[in-house]
Amino acid sequence: MSDAFTPIVAGSALGGDAPAPATPRNVPLTGGEANPSAAALRTRFGDAIRRAHVVRGETNVVVANDRLLDVVRWLHDDPAQRYEYLSDVTAVEHRDPEHPIEVVWHLRSIAYRRFLRLKVELARGAELAVPSVWSVYRSADWLERECYDMFGIRFTGHPDLRRILLWEDYREGFPLRKDFPLRGRFSRAEQLRQALAANPEARYSMEELSVVDAFADLPEEMRRRLKAGEKAGE
């Protein structure tokens, strides 16, 4: 049986003497034993690893923006790391205006039972853009689109970066940014006018439409993609 299909049993990935995994108890807020991948990253990438710290037993590593893709690819490909699962891509904007916006990746090594949180810090007022990791993890496709939709983070190299929760011509901005007003940027009357004027059938692909004439109401970019052969759900 190949390694790809070998079941993981207690201690098999780390050697026969490795203890079985157990739920951590009484985890301190800060400090504690770091994920060994943090030290390996410092050795491999040097100053590109800005800092590493442990919070609630989870290791956080802040990475230079221009090396993010190299770091992620190495963590995925290196046999001593094997972070084969990207579980989330998100962002954090703090209330403190001096604090940079953080883009966050959650990586898991199922083989070694490790969790690693990578972060890139983006200064406010600068371009909010980071490399896409889609070329390493296909699961990044919709995760990056959601982060773009809610925070306005652009993922350079993404094959189809567009909104995924809101419609493509949504004009009010990015709802999870701190400067986004609770009631939206438009008045309630304007929001209602836009909702009533919108064609709900123009939110779906041609394979999901029951009214073929709605194709003419689709945004230009969506019509181009559908004519090129895009399938429902892509």
Euclidean distance between CA atoms 211 and 200, whole angstroms? 11
Whether residue 81 is found in the same domain as residue 124: yes
**How many residues are there in the chain?**
234
CA distances, 171 to each of 166, 180, 191 (Å):
10, 12, 11
Number of domains making up the chain: 2
The pair of three-digit structure tokens given for residue 101, joined into one six-digit string: 């916006």
Closest Cα to residue 215, out of 230, 232, 228, 203?
Answer: 203
**E-strand spans in 1-147?**
49-55, 58-63, 85-92, 101-109, 114-122, 129-131
**E-strand spans in the chain?**
49-55, 58-63, 85-92, 101-109, 114-122, 129-131, 154-156
pLDDT of residue 7: 42
Euclidean distance between CA atoms 115 and 186, whole angstroms? 42
Q: Which of 141, 165, 189 is the last residue of a domain?
A: 165
Query: Tens digit of pLDDT for each residue in 25-35?
Result: 888 888 888 99
pLDDT of residue 116: 98
Whether residue 153 is found in the same domain as residue 232: no
Q: What is the CATH number of the domain that holds 128?
A: 3.30.460.80
Whether residue 203 is found in the same domain as residue 114: no
Q: Which domain holds residue 226?
A: 199-234
The pair of three-digit structure tokens given for residue 47, joined into one six-digit string: 């100053």
Which residues in the chain land under pLDDT 50?
Answer: 1-14, 209-211, 232-234
pLDDT of residue 31: 81
Amino acid type, 52: A
Whether residue 57 is found in the same domain as residue 148: yes
Closest Cα to residue 66, out of 52, 39, 50, 48?
Answer: 48
Residue 87 lies in a domain: yes
pLDDT of residue 142: 96
The pair of three-digit structure tokens given for residue 85, joined into one six-digit string: 């699962």
Q: DSSP letter at 21?
A: P
Q: Which of 119, 140, 165 is the last residue of a domain?
A: 165
Residue 134 lies in a domain: yes
Amino acid type, 202: A
Nearest-5° angle of CA 204, CA 86, CA 71?
Answer: 125
Query: Tens digit of pLDDT for each residue in 84-140?
Result: 999 999 999 999 988 999 999 999 999 999 999 999 999 988 899 999 999 999 999
Residue 37 lies in a domain: yes
Go through 104-132 and write b for each residue having 16 or more CB atoms within 10 A of its CB, e for each that does not.
ebbbbbebbebbbbbbbebeeeeebebbb
pLDDT of residue 128: 96
Residue 173 lies in a domain: no
Whether residue 144 is found in the same domain as residue 35: yes
Pairing mode of beta strands 58-63, 49-55: antiparallel
Whether residue 141 is found in the same domain as residue 231: no
